[in-house]
Structure 1
Amino acid sequence: MTAGIFRVCLVVVTAIINHPILFPWENATIPENEEEIIHKMRAHQEKLQLEQLRLEEEVARMEKEKEALKQDAEDGQQQNEGRLAWDLWSTLCMIVFLMIELWRQDYLDGIPPDSPGEEDDLPSPRTTFQGIILPDKVTLSHFYERCIRGTTGDAVRTREFVEGFVDDLLEALRSVCNRDSDMEVEDFIGVGSMYENWRVDKPLLCDLFVPFTPPEPYRFRPEVWCLSKSVPLDLQGYGQIKVGWLNEDSVGCICGKTKLGEDLLCLLHSKNKMGSSSEMEDLLCFKDSPFLDMDQVMKWFQTALTRAWQQISHKYEFDLAFGHLDTPGSLKIKFRSGKFIPFNLIPVVQCEDSDLYFVSHFPRGRPVGAPASSTHWFLSFAVYERHFLKMITKALPENSCHLSCLQIASFLLTKQNRLTGVSGLNSYHLKTALLHLLLARSASDWGSGHLESRLNDLLRFLEKSLLEKKLYHFFVGNQKVPATMGIPELFRRAEPLNLFCPFVLQRSLYQKTVDSFYEMLKNASTLISEYSLHVPVDHSSSHQKRTLS
């Protein structure tokens, strides 16, 4: 480029020199002052040389800038290529590490222990709580004999006393209710740990279902979650109850379809449309809907119990009070000596002709993940669970250890909750894990001498379920449950119900539950030793702790 500029300058100089005005050749006369002309030409030549030098410097500067820009572009391209290669390498490494982690979990954990349809439901032997120390067989047996077995006699006496009183209370409740317009209360049904003979926590607490039905011409029409293909996770395990007409498939209010007598009160609407606001509001259904409302049912039940107790209170030398205002069925018998006996009366609705019941409220607090809607009722399998344990006990060896395992685990969980607060793990999860293990192991494995091994199995099962966030309901979608149990086919063929689903949605709750579980295992040895007080001298040499493996 420099050579080109130089050629252009040379042409310009030549043109100037040969310009006819400045330097005439033809018919020209030599100027008189030749030296002056030569001086001007030299000055002009010097000026051109200076201009040429300036142009060359400008061209050189432009060339350097161009080279610098080119170098910067090359460096930027190399840097981008390096960054792209690094990002690609990082992505590949992440994918490889993720595949290795997934393979490791599958290899270590194996098949989920409670997945329906699998052949082996036992927990993998590799799934252990490393470094956790649990009491040995001698300590466990001594603890059970000293601290748990003695509560059996108290439980029987408590059940008999509570049942006798509740019979009288419900009979009084029927007498104060209007048989033509009010709910009809049936006999109670005992459920839960007190009736399955594994409750250890004191005070001993009886849970009693009280089924109720509407008067004619009404009926309850349950709608369970598994009838729909797509149900939100928080509604699985729940259902709604419509109040409809007994002899019609329609579920709307029958006020306009039949003429009600003056003494007959519609369950959906007040009979006096011109009355006060309290008379106009819905009685037992959610406002402007045919669905039975738990809040309305609880108010009705609380009022009915209060009126019933007023009828029979003169017959007893104790007082009856509500244990918790937010759970009206939580009652407490208070003696003059200061002692008390708590029990729970829970109004429920039967699901068709089965032993399934929709529960109106939870005596021990609202479970984690329960829907906020007051028209969605929890479907309880408590009666079937009681029947299954009674049936399986007949097939197990005499003095089998299955309930002992559940009692010890429940004891540890209760004490841990008092130390660190309630977590997402509860006694129902413990019982569900035990039910799965009862089907997975042979009857001979549950002899009284296998208490330590079966307790380890139960805790391993819970640990594995927590890590996988999967603990399936024992009856829903479980084809291994004997058909003789009479579980409705709709629930046998339903999709398995994961009881640990809330842990998937609530990470903080899950972390707290896992931490509490491992803390419970670490404290197990100390708690059992403290409550055992003394170990027989003959076995003092064997009083050692072992790490699970």
Structure 2
Amino acid sequence: MALGLFRVCLVVVTAIINHPLLFPRENTTVPENEEEIIRKMQEHQEKLQLEQLRLEEEVARLAAEKEALVQAAAEGQQQNETRTAWDLWSTLCMILFLMIEVWRQDHQDGPSPECPAGDEDELPGLGGPPLRGLILPNKATLSHFYEHCIRGATADAARTREFVEGFVDDLLEALRSLCNRDTDMEVEDFIGVDSMYENWQVDRPLVCDLFVPFTPPEPYRFHPELWCSGRSLPLDCQGYGQIKVVRADDDMLGCICGKTKLGEDMLCLLHGKNNMVRPGGEMEDLLCARESPYLDTMQVMKWFQTALTRAWHRIAHKYEFGLAFGQLDTPGSLKIKFRSGKFMPFNLIPVIQCEDSDLYFVSHLPRGPPQWTPVSNTDWLLSFAVYERHFLRVTSKALPEGACHLSCLQIASFLLSKQTRLTGPSGLSNYHLKTALLHLLLARQATDWKATQLDARLQELLRFLEKSLLEKKLYHFFIGNHKVPETMGLPGAIRRAEPLNLFRPFVLQRSLYRKTADTFYEMLKNVPALISEYSLHIPSDYQPTPKSCHLLSIWDPEDRARVHPTTSVSPGASASLSWENGGLLGIYGSSC
């Protein structure tokens, strides 16, 4: 009860206190500046709205920049992925192209001799368009030209070889008798190489090329270093090597007398008293380059020319002819001069045998192209002449009797020689012609080289050369060629080496390539005229019209592309030839 009464009293007191009439509040009155307050509030609200808009714009700008950065990063990542994919694709394409090229070289250069005759379209030079500007005479004219102009002109090749070999034997024997075996180089027997010993030389006068191997005095020996023996060499030095002169006692099996001091009363059973190991400072006496253990080609040339001169003076009284150097910049370029005014040139080429093989290092080539000039005096060209002669001899035994392979090479060499006299030298040489023939011999069957197929094989040889010139690619026949029979006995390093492109100078020298291509096509255009001009008789199957006159013509060196008619000669009239500087200038005979 008391609690309820207390609550009623508390409510009454509270009502009285809060009544506005009894206790008025100060803030109950409305201020007079209400409009000013409202205006300020509106201004403040406007400022807040502007600030809100500014903040919204700033947030939008930051969001746009962030989105742009994210998009740029995505695009960059996409470009990197695309570039990576493109690089990977390019690498795969390059590898694929290299594999195709390797496969083509290994399987499409031409079938082996065991392939059937139905694969002729795969042989190099076959199945292509006709040679530009080439019009070969008929078989009868071509065979007649070969019999009377080439074979007849080289009939005395055997007698020439016999005479030169007898004289060189005497000359080298005199050279050996003058040399000191303890200090001078030792000269071995000569080796006949190249066209005269392969039975296809056509140039007159006939020239014998003879290799003359030489070795150093004891206790020294030659150590050949091939370009493919692991050394990093520039491309210009491919096919070359260096000859290092080393002491024989450096070998584990060599004599040790040079490493130990022998007493005065002791003598080595292998070396004489005057044949002791010389100090290393005398390497120049061994024809080495200055301050180098490698053999110098210029030193060898001077030594060989001096030795030949001394040897000739020793035996000159026995002969009724003279001997002179043909080219002073080529060692062993000699010519025999008879009293009648005629001369007989030949080449003695100092060489060094490569290990126990038939490879020889040559200091100078007597008739090599200008692009075969070595870069350094210590670079020696590796010659495969003995292997080439052996391959031709073995191949000829498997071919039909009277095969036309050498006839093709002789005709092509004859045409190139005459064209060179007209237009000057170019990058094409007889060695390139022989290399092309060796490739065709390895690719063709033996039955394809019958004498009746001379015109077809000659055209194929020229087409092969044209294809090689257009591609600027003619590989060396032995270097890196796995199709060469192993019975040839080539060193393993040569078989495993990278193929050597003989036409690589054409890639680097555009002027030389243009000159060579022009000379080649000029030769093709002049083939009919050259063959007809150098044919001395009319073919037996040619039936002229009775009582008719035939135009004879001359080959004018000043006008290389034209053949000028000069006079008319009856079929039975005689004719004579006029020669000057090795070229046919005119034909003269009685008129009709």
Within the candidate set 488, 495, 499, 1:496 is matched to: 499
Query: Are the structure 2 counterparts of residues 325 and 257 from structure 1 closer, same or farther at C-alpha, using a change threshold of 3 Å?
Result: farther
Mean Cα deviation higher: 230-239 or 310-319: 230-239
Query: Are the structure 2 counterparts of residues 347 and 229 from structure 1 closer, same or farther at C-alpha, using a change threshold of 3 Å?
Result: closer
- In the alignment, what sits opposite 1:518? 521
Instruction: Report the Cα distance in structure 2 between the residues aligned to 1:174 and 1:153, rounded to whole angstroms.
Output: 34
1:263 Cα shift?
Answer: 5.4
Within the candidate set 85, 108, 127, 1:125 is matched to: 127
Mapped contact 2:369–2:427 kept (Cα < 8 A): no
Within the candidate set 521, 526, 530, 1:527 is matched to: 530
Look up the SS of the partner of 2:538 in the other structure.
Answer: coil
Q: Which has the larger radius of gyration?
A: 2
Q: Are 1:348 and 2:331 an aligned pair?
A: no
Instruction: Report the Cα distance in structure 2 between the residues aligned to 1:378 and 1:286, rounded to whole angstroms.
Output: 17
- The residue type paired with residue 149 of structure 2 is C
Query: TM (normalized to structure 1)?
Result: 0.73
- In the alignment, what sits opposite 2:14? none
Instruction: Report the Cα distance in structure 1 between the residues aligned to 2:107 and 2:337, rounded to whole angstroms.
Output: 44
Instruction: Report the Cα distance in structure 2 between the residues aligned to 1:518 and 1:214, rounded to whole angstroms.
Output: 48
- The residue type paired with residue 380 of structure 1 is S
1:215 Cα shift?
Answer: 1.1
Instruction: Report the Cα distance in structure 2 between the residues aligned to 1:375 and 1:258, rounded to whole angstroms.
Output: 32
Look up the SS of the partner of 2:228 in the other structure.
Answer: helix
- In the alignment, what sits opposite 1:364? 367
- In the alignment, what sits opposite 1:296? 299
Instruction: Report the Cα distance in structure 2 between the residues aligned to 1:464 and 1:113, rounded to whole angstroms.
Output: 18
Larger RCO (alpha carbons 8 Å, 6+ apart): 1
Q: Are 1:460 and 2:460 an aligned pair?
A: no
Q: What is the percentage of aligned positions where both structures have the same residue?
A: 71
Mapped contact 2:374–2:381 kept (Cα < 8 A): no
- In the alignment, what sits opposite 2:236? 234
Q: Are 1:438 and 2:444 an aligned pair?
A: no
Q: Are 1:207 and 2:198 an aligned pair?
A: no
Query: TM (normalized to structure 2)?
Result: 0.68
Mapped contact 2:111–2:444 kept (Cα < 8 A): no
- In the alignment, what sits opposite 2:176? 174
- In the alignment, what sits opposite 1:395? 398
Residues matched between the structures, number: 426
- In the alignment, what sits opposite 1:336? 339
Mapped contact 1:116–1:496 kept (Cα < 8 A): no
Query: Are the structure 2 counterparts of residues 401 and 537 from structure 1 closer, same or farther at C-alpha, using a change threshold of 3 Å?
Result: closer
Instruction: Report the Cα distance in structure 1 between the residues aligned to 2:284 and 2:165, rounded to whole angstroms.
Output: 35
- The residue type paired with residue 360 of structure 2 is Y
Look up the SS of the partner of 2:470 in the other structure.
Answer: helix
- In the alignment, what sits opposite 1:450? 453
Structure 1, unmatched stretches of 5+, are 1-102, 272-279, 544-549
1:408 Cα shift?
Answer: 0.1
Query: Are the structure 2 counterparts of residues 115 and 227 from structure 1 closer, same or farther at C-alpha, using a change threshold of 3 Å?
Result: farther
- In the alignment, what sits opposite 2:18? none
- The residue type paired with residue 172 of structure 1 is A
1:258 Cα shift?
Answer: 7.5
1:370 Cα shift?
Answer: 3.0
Instruction: Report the Cα distance in structure 1 between the residues aligned to 2:276 and 2:157, rounded to whole angstroms.
Output: 42
Instruction: Report the Cα distance in structure 1 between the residues aligned to 2:383 and 2:160, rounded to whole angstroms.
Output: 24
Cα-Cα RMSD:
2.9
1:203 Cα shift?
Answer: 0.4
1:426-451 residue CA offsets vs partner (Å, 9 max, x unmatched) = 00000000000001111000000000
Mapped contact 1:113–1:121 kept (Cα < 8 A): no
Look up the SS of the partner of 2:307 in the other structure.
Answer: helix
1:534 Cα shift?
Answer: 2.7
Within the candidate set 486, 492, 506, 2:489 is matched to: 486
- The residue type paired with residue 476 of structure 1 is I
Q: Are 1:318 and 2:325 an aligned pair?
A: no
- In the alignment, what sits opposite 2:311? 308
Mapped contact 2:246–2:293 kept (Cα < 8 A): yes
Look up the SS of the partner of 2:323 in the other structure.
Answer: strand
Query: Are the structure 2 counterparts of residues 434 and 540 from structure 1 closer, same or farther at C-alpha, using a change threshold of 3 Å?
Result: farther
Structure 2, unmatched stretches of 5+, are 1-96, 113-121, 262-270, 551-592
Instruction: Report the Cα distance in structure 1 between the residues aligned to 2:455 and 2:523, rounded to whole angstroms.
Output: 17
- The residue type paired with residue 417 of structure 1 is T
